Amino acid sequence: RRHFQLWLNRSAVVGPMVEAILDEEGVPRELLYLSMIESGLNPKARSNVGAVGAWQFMPGTARGFALTMSWWVDLRRDWEKSTRAACRYMTRLHDEFGDWSLVRAAYNGGEGRVRRQLRDNGHDNFWDYRLPRQTLDYVPKFIAAARIGSDPTAYGFSVPEGDPLSLEKLVVHDATDLALVARCAGVSERAVYDLNPALLR
């Protein structure tokens, strides 16, 4: 409960931006909750197997969707770019599997596993598939998160009052100290760092 309230609080800040991108990319808005259960809507999240960002991209998948990872930057931690990459990935999975439960299972447990289950079972009913426990739990967790998120008070959660994330993009043409950017913008260094989680240096 404590964790989920924190996730709801974060959703009040980043949710409107993420949902706008989901709309633009033509995928269901409720996929916001996939990021919620993947990372708690934390762009700096890192799993013990090397998945990074709010959408928990593994390096190979990230490269396949043009998310640069270098000494300077990790675009898996960039809200806009990683969300668009996640949308493209889920659209590709939906084009193949045709079912959003299977998309979520493939996103979590790997498309190869879901492909084999589809082939071996001859149907697309996720609930009858034999998958790892983590993946079997993943779809119900998503459903629970989406239900609670759509009506928090019905489940005893407080509706968060956060200021939705609002930012302007600034193009710099050379290495620039973020402290200087903050000073010129008249905001704190912390604010600039928080708005640019993909910048490692």
Which SS3 state, helix, strand or coil, does residue 98 take?
A: coil
Q: Which is the catalytic residue, given 19, 38, 111, 161? A: 38
Among 10, 23, 48, which residue's Cα sits nearest to residue 58?
Answer: 48
CB-based burial, 77-91: b 16+ in 10 Å, e otherwise: bbbebbbbbbbebbe
Per the annotation, the verdict on 38 as an active-site residue is: yes
Distance between CA atoms of residues 197 and 168, nearest Å? 15
How many angstroms separate the Cα of 11 from the Cα of each of 51, 163, 195?
21, 10, 15
Catalytic residues: 38
